[in-house]
């Protein structure tokens, strides 16, 4: 048991609303666990900070975060600021500077939740997506020449390093072994079209797979995988894919398991030299921001992943169990799940269930 120092960046849109519920759950865990406490350092970074300063975070922002045990992040994105400025100004620098190359995104169809895919029953959809998180299509490599002329030329380069590719693929296999479910890892690329980076990815996948003969493997093109995630989501166990593909596919995985508002995400620095970051998969949802109706459960599940990462396994299980019960009982769910509860009421219900044990 310990005191954990958490950096908290609520960010934009619904970020502050869902982060408030995540912190409420952390406080309930601390209040009911002898010797466990959290110290929060809040950073008011994001789009409002950008409007004041011209930066999404201060120049020494990453230095300030480095000493945290973990980062709890809300959301980034503002309709009045170009998305590439907000994303490249706050979220992506953290993932890269803290070498958070392994992004883990579980998707599970819980009892009490209806999938939009007809006939799917609770537990039938159960997968974890491993997203390469620091390079691939998100690498800030490229340029533009002759802007505004007929010769305007823009290049955007994908980056696949052996270290980054092998690391995420190995993490997926290790995750599959630990999960001990369908024993299958699906690698998703577009190597028929992307004949350098993704052919390389496929080769590394085969090399790493050879070390895990007990695990079934499958390589799918991303278009086929998108189709299968909708028509046969139950066929997946562990998925591993590049930064962009896994980002897109994890949105599909989230909606087939009921809602974007249920999808947590852990951005892990496996070497633990830097803080890892925990956030909901969803963005800032400006259309519902400030209305108190955002679903806080993705953030609360991310809090569970944060606790697990900090070695507080029992606390993590309690948080997950409270969310599972909240979903199954359907007494305080938000509108995206067919309920009428506010963000706060849903968070309060998780706290109540957590305290009941
Ligand atoms: N909580 C995650 C968030 O704010 N996401 C905004 C977004 O655009 N993310 C892109 C990404 O994660 O690659």
Contacts of 133 (CB under 8 A, 6+ apart): 95, 100, 101, 102, 103, 168, 243, 267
Partners of 75 in beta bridges: 11
For 4, the enclosing helix (H) or strand (E) is strand 3-11
Partners of 160 in beta bridges: none
β-pairing, 70-75 vs 3-11, is parallel
Residue 110 has pLDDT above 80, yes or no: yes
The residue whose C-alpha atom lies closest to atom 7 belonging to ligand 1 is: 283
The pLDDT mean for the chain works out to 98
Atom of ligand 1 nearest to the CA of 12: 4
Angle (CA) 208 214 220, round 5°: 55
For 113, the enclosing helix (H) or strand (E) is none
Instruction: Compute how many other C-beta atoms are within 10 angstroms of the C-beta atom of residue 93.
Output: 16
What number does CATH give the domain 126-256? 3.40.718.10
What is the model's pTM? 0.97
Is 261 close to ligand 1, i.e. is its CB under 6 Å away? no
Do residues 184 and 218 lie in contact, with contact meaning Cβ atoms separated by under 8 Å? yes
Is 22 close to ligand 1, i.e. is its CB under 6 Å away? no
pLDDT value of residue 208: 98
Which part of the chain is CATH 3.40.718.10? 1-100+272-357, 126-256
pLDDT value of residue 1: 61
Residues involved in catalysis: 138, 190, 223, 247, 251
Distance 119 CA to ligand 1 centre (A): 30
Give the E-state strand segments of 50-123 in sequence order: 70-75, 102-108
178-222 pLDDT per residue, tens: 999 999 999 999 999 999 999 999 999 999 999 999 999 999 999
C-beta contacts of 119-128 below 8 A and 24+ residues apart: 120/233, 120/234, 120/256, 124/234, 125/233, 125/234, 125/256, 125/257, 126/181, 126/234, 126/237, 127/233, 127/236, 127/237, 127/238, 127/239, 127/253, 128/104, 128/175, 128/179, 128/237, 128/238, 128/239
Mean pLDDT of 89-94: 98
Percent of the chain topping pLDDT 90? 99
Mean pLDDT of 336-344: 98
- Sign of torsion over alpha carbons 293, 296, 298, 299: positive
Mean pLDDT of 113-142: 98
**Fold type of domain 1-100+272-357:** Isopropylmalate Dehydrogenase (3.40.718)
Is 215 close to ligand 1, i.e. is its CB under 6 Å away? no
Closest by CA to 89, choosing from 172, 12, 150, is 12
* Cα 161 to Cα 328: distance, rounded to the nearest angstrom: 43
Is 220 close to ligand 1, i.e. is its CB under 6 Å away? no
Q: Tokens representing 89?
A: 């100004």
Work out the widest C-alpha separation in the chain, in whole angstroms: 68
160-172 pLDDT per residue, tens: 999 999 999 999 9
208-219 pLDDT per residue, tens: 999 999 999 999
Distance 92 CA to ligand 1 centre (A): 9
């Amino acid at each position: 048991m310990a005191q954990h120092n958490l950096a908290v960046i609520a960010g934009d849109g619904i970020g502050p609303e869902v982060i408030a519920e995540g912190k409420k759950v952390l406080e309930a865990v601390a209040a009911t666990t002898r010797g466990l406490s959290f110290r929060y350092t809040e950073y008011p970074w994001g789009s409002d900070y950008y409007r004041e300063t011209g930066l999404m975070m201060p120049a020494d922002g990453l230095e300030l975060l480095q000493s945290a045990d973990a980062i709890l992040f809300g959301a980034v994105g503002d309709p009045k600021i170009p998305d590439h400025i907000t994303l490249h100004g706050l979220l992506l620098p953290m993932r890269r500077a803290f070498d958070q190359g392994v992004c883990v995104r579980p998707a599970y169809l819980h009892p009490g939740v209806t999938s939009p895919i007809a006939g799917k029953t609770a537990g039938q959809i159960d997968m974890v997506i491993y997203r390469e998180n620091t390079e691939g299509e998100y690498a800030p490599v490229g340029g533009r020449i002759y802007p505004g002329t007929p010769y305007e030329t823009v290049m955007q380069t994908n980056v696949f390093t052996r270290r980054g590719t092998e690391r995420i693929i190995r993490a997926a296999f290790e995750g599959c072994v630990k999960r001990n479910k369908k024993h299958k890892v699906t690698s998703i690329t577009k190597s028929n079209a992307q004949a350098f980076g993704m052919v390389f990815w496929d080769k590394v996948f085969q090399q790493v797979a050879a070390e895990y003969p007990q695990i079934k493997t499958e390589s799918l093109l991303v278009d086929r995988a998108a189709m299968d995630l909708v028509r046969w989501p139950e066929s997946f166990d562990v998925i591993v894919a590049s930064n962009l593909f896994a980002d897109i596919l994890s949105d599909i995985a989230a909606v087939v398991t009921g809602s974007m508002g249920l999808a947590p995400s852990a951005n892990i620095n496996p070497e633990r030299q830097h803080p890892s970051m925990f956030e909901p998969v969803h963005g800032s949802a400006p259309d519902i921001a400030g209305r108190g109706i955002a679903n806080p459960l993705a953030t609360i599940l991310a809090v569970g992943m944060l606790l697990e990462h900090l070695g507080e396994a029992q606390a993590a299980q309690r948080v997950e169990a409270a969310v599972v019960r909240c979903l199954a009982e359907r007494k305080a769910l938000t509108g995206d799940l067919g309920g009428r509860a506010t963000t706060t009421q849903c968070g309060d219900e998780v706290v109540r269930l957590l305290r009941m044990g």
